[in-house]
Structure 1
Amino acid sequence: MAATRSDGRQARWDKHNETRRQQIIDAAMAAIEENEPGADVKVQQIAAHAGISRTVIYRHFEDRADLDRAVQQSIIESLWRELHPAMSLDGTVPQIIRRIVGTYVGWAVAHPALHLAADHDPDGAVDGPLREGMERIATEVSQVVAAGMLVLGGTLSEEDARALDPLVFGLVGAVFGVVRRWLTSSDRQLSADALEKLVAQSVWFVVDGHARTFGLSIDPTMPVVELLEPERLTTTP
């Protein structure tokens, strides 16, 4: 019985710590967003937002780098929650690409300070939250592309399958880089809508070009659900 009570107290304490930790992360994100993108947000500002003292923050995070990593992870998660629903097969291939790119650009425009805050790895780490987030998105896209190629009648050699991962990761990174460049430009000559259109078209050109190397001709005017019907499948010589 005593062990059960002890376990119950520990569970409540763990829950309290988890809630407080998330409160601090949310406060940090709020502090970042109320400042200019790239501004140095002090721990005291975060503490003020959370309604706690600086010392309490360091009870839940080892140091500032640990806090920054947790905040970056939360930023990437918030972006993923926006992107994931957009990765459906509703519409034509160009429409799907435009929807995904548009969702990302829209999020970046709405949260420029968060976007910039996610755009570095704490302490120069090579496996920080941003990289992990890009890998997560690229992996999801790679799986969809590979499945789509096979369903549409394309052929993927072992070498082709291995090439998909770096290809898609590079494409995701390129899109991120274009949006980052646009967000940080002091003289934006493109509107958000024009940027979205340009990036979406560029992704479509890459997808269409590589599809043709796999022997596929994708009709850009036909919904994907119709493309997947057996009688609709076409291949190029």
Structure 2
Amino acid sequence: MSVASSRSRIPGAVNGYEARWEPHNTERQLRILRAAVELLEEKPLGADVPVLEIAKRAGVAKSVVYRQFSGREDLDRRIRSYLIDDLGSVLDAQLDVSSGSVREIITRTVRAVADWMGDHPNLTAFARNGPPAGGPDSVDAISSLKIRISERSRELIEAIARIVGVDAAALEPVPFAVVTMVEGVLAAWVADPGTNRTRAEVVADLADYAWYVLDGTARTVGASVDPDRELAEVVAGLREGGI
């Protein structure tokens, strides 16, 4: 599969993502990372991708790869960062609370994860196999992304809680619990070649489960939310005490 032609925004097709890397990375580094991602996609799940093959695909000498990266471990970490930053940028866009109902925001976010993991199982497995650049050795790239998305979601929840005047403490564990549930179920679904459940069915179920958790937690702080109203309207109603 060509990286540039991938529908689900695999690295190399994300202009905003690459722009963020430009101050810190050369065009040659990006070419090497894109080549590595393409080869990971093409090979059998779990197969090794030698540095020499990456160099050939990138159109550079093997020695150039080792001048751009301090070693194979550094290269692998940078590849993982490249991957999870791409998926992270997709999820940030889907978590935009300025548009859509609560149910729509949840569903489109879960669908984005399902699309990425379902369309790119090799990349998901590679990201799960080790840490990203700059991360601790004990935390793999997927777990690092889960933490990042949980923190982003918590910030959104806390901002809404401040607006409507409720204590956000009870809501604090919710984002990580929901993110972990979604990722775990999707990982099992992707790994099961005999599954008879479609992607749409899994997404719909997970969106419902996530809503049940959020709804139950909201009720503990005295808030009743209509999941099919625009979130902006819901927040306004809660602030005015009308919901």
Q: TM-score, normalised by structure 2?
A: 0.80
Residues of 2 paired with 1:18 and 1:198: CA distance?
43
Q: What is the alpha-carbon root mean square deviation over aligned residues? A: 2.5
Q: What residue number does 2:225 align with?
A: 218
Please tell me whether the aligned partners of residues 95 and 109 of structure 2 are also in contact (alpha carbons under 8 angstroms): yes
Of 193, 199, 202, which residue of structure 2 is paired with 1:186?
193
Match of 2:44, as an amino acid? E
Residue number in structure 1 paired with 2:13: none
1:39 aligns with 2:53: no
Cα distance in 2 between the residues matched to 1:230 and 1:185: 43
Shifted more, 127-136 versus 181-190: the winner is: 127-136
Residue 172 (str. 1) matches residue 169 (str. 2): no
Asked whether the equivalents of residues 92 and 221 of structure 1 are also in contact (C-alpha less than 8 Å), the reply is yes
Identity %: 30
Instruction: Specify the code of the residue in structure 1 equivalent to 2:219.
Output: R
CA distance in 2, matches of 1:70, 1:99: 28
CA distance, structure 1, for counterparts of residue 24 and residue 230 of structure 2? 48
- The residue aligned with 2:157 is 145
**1:7-31 per-position Cα deviation (integer Å, ceiling 9, x unaligned):** xxxxxxx989722222111110111
Give the conservation status (yes or no) of the 8 Å contact 2:128–2:141. Answer: no
Question: Which consecutive residues of structure 1, in runs of 5 or more, have no partner in the other structure?
Answer: 1-13
Contact in 2 for aligned 1:65/1:122 (Cα 8 Å): no
- How many residues get paired? 217
Bigger share in helix: 1
**CA–CA distance in 2 between the matches of 1:128 and 1:189?**
29
Q: In 1, distance between residues paired with 2:233 and 2:24?
A: 51
Where does structure 2 lack aligned partners over 5 or more consecutive residues?
1-21
Q: Distance in 2 between matches of 1:221 and 1:204?
A: 11
Equivalent of 1:48, from 50, 53, 56?
56
Name the SS of the counterpart of 1:229 in structure 2: helix
Q: Distance in 2 between matches of 1:142 and 1:16?
A: 29
Cα distance between partner residues in 1 of 2:40 and 2:207? 29
In structure 2, how many angstroms separate the alpha carbons of the residues matched to 1:143 and 1:233?
22
Structure 1: 4+ residue segments shifted above 4 A: 14-17
After TM superposition, give the deviation of residue 115 of structure 1 in Å: 1.4
CA deviation profile, 1:103-131 (whole Å, cap 9, x unmatched): 11112222222111111225991144333
SS in structure 2 of the partner of residue 91 of structure 1? coil
Conserved in 1, the CA contact under 8 Å of 2:131 and 2:140? yes
| Matching of residue 133 in structure 1 with residue 145 in structure 2 | yes
**Which structure 2 residues correspond to residues 1-237 of structure 1 after superposition, within 5 A?**
18-89=26-97, 90-122=99-131, 125-156=137-168, 160=169, 164=172, 166-230=173-237, 233-234=241-242
